[in-house]
Amino acid sequence: MENTNKFKFVKGIPLIPEIHDVEEIERMCDDFEVRDNDVIIMTYPKSGTHWMIDILSLIYSKGDPTWVKSVPYWKRSPWIEVKGSIGIIKNQVDPRLLTSHLPIQLFPKSYFTSKAKMICVARNPRDIIVSLYHFCSQGPFHALYSNFEQVFDGFLQGNVFFGSWFDHIKGWLSRRDSENFLFVTYEELHQDFMASVKKICQFLGKELSEEEINLVVENASFQVMKQRMLEDKEFIPMKNTEYLKMITLRKGICGDWKNYFTVTQMETFNQLYQEKMNRLDQDLFPWDQC
């Protein structure tokens, strides 16, 4: 496992010390104050996080793209575990939009007694592997893995940032009976984007006109988001982010894994998937329907 040295582990979860506030995460778990009006986007990396941030930002601005055009993602909806976010979060006004990739056991405890709303976006883990591979194949994360096989094996072993996808999804899905928790899949956004936006509006208690919904759909489309991202001068507060800016919105499709997995990888993956997920309701995961 070549990449083990590049990670720092917080309660067994691999994180990237250059980005994640590894020294503070455990303290934040006890101290961070989640507010009742907070809206939290919860995802495993590469599951459509930026998409959901733009959808929510646009819902809150009634489809007007001024906010999404002028303020970068990490200021509109800071990732709570990222270095420097706490200072930004302190200056956010209610309702705060927050983002996180943290597994349930590392998430601030105050959330569990709050009325904060959480939208959890999940994606076919096979497509996550492909997306992650491209994300790490050049740029600041290129040292983590040398090739697709390493990303594939790392993912299966939970040796990727934020750990095992299987544990992550099962952990957060334990919240799905809470009325303040909405489970959305990347695939469902693809299948009927308009209906998904309406469902999210309803969950947030936001009443938008048809015209405003149309604006949300248009301004959160792949092509429009891609163009905005390429023009974003503050995309990530790091050096050498040109590659990440280009690759974060790479293809934006379902099922690209079929172009990458060998037959053996497909079988290995399916076997592990069955072992890990067999007690969960299959209807929750429309992976193969689009």
Provide the mask over 119-148, with x wherever binding to ligand A3P is found by CB under 6 A and - wherever it is not.
Answer: --------x---x--x--------------
Task: List the Cα angle 268/159/8 in 5-degree steps.
Answer: 180
SS3 134: helix
Q: 281: which 2 tokens?
A: 């309701």
Rounded Cα gap, residues 172 and 177, in angstroms: 11
Determine contact, residues 225/249, Cβ cutoff 8 Å: yes
Specify the stretch interacting with ligand A3P by CB under 6 A; choose among 28-36, 74-82, 177-185, 221-229.
221-229
Rounded Cα gap, residues 23 and 227, in angstroms: 36
Residue 173 class from Cβ within 10 Å (0-12 exposed, 13-18 middle, 19+ buried)? middle
Strands of the sheet with 97-100, listed across from one edge: 97-100, 39-43, 117-122, 181-185
**Least separation in angstroms between CB 179 and ligand A3P:** 25
Strands 39-43 and 117-122, sheet pairing: parallel
**Catalytically annotated residues:** 101
Give the residue, chosen from 222, 243, 260, 273, that forms a contact with ligand A3P under the rule CB under 6 A. Answer: 222
For ligand A3P, the closer CB: 43 or 114: 43
Restricted to residues 42-71, the positions that interact with ligand A3P (CB under 6 A) are 43, 45-51
Q: Which residue is nearest to ligand A3P (CB)?
A: 252
For ligand A3P, the closer CB: 114 or 168: 168
Which residues does 84 contact at the CB level (< 8 Å), separation at least 6?
A: 237
Q: 278: which 2 tokens?
A: 């067999």
**Least separation in angstroms between CB 252 and ligand A3P:** 3
Specify the stretch interacting with ligand A3P by CB under 6 A; choose among 109-117, 202-210, 251-259, 268-276.
251-259
Concatenating the DSSP letter of every residue in 242-259 gives HHHHHHTTS---S-GGGG
Restricted to residues 138-197, the positions that interact with ligand A3P (CB under 6 A) are none
Restricted to residues 17-46, the positions that interact with ligand A3P (CB under 6 A) are 43, 45-46
For ligand A3P, the closer CB: 222 or 243: 222
Chain-centre distance for alpha carbon 97:
13
**Least separation in angstroms between CB 117 and ligand A3P:** 19
| Total interface residues for ligand A3P by CB under 6 A | 21
Residue 219 touches ligand A3P, criterion: CB under 6 A? no
Name the nearest CA neighbour of 222 among 50, 47, 41, 43: 50
Where do contacts with ligand A3P occur on this chain (CB under 6 A)? 43, 45-51, 127, 131, 134, 220-222, 225, 248-252, 256
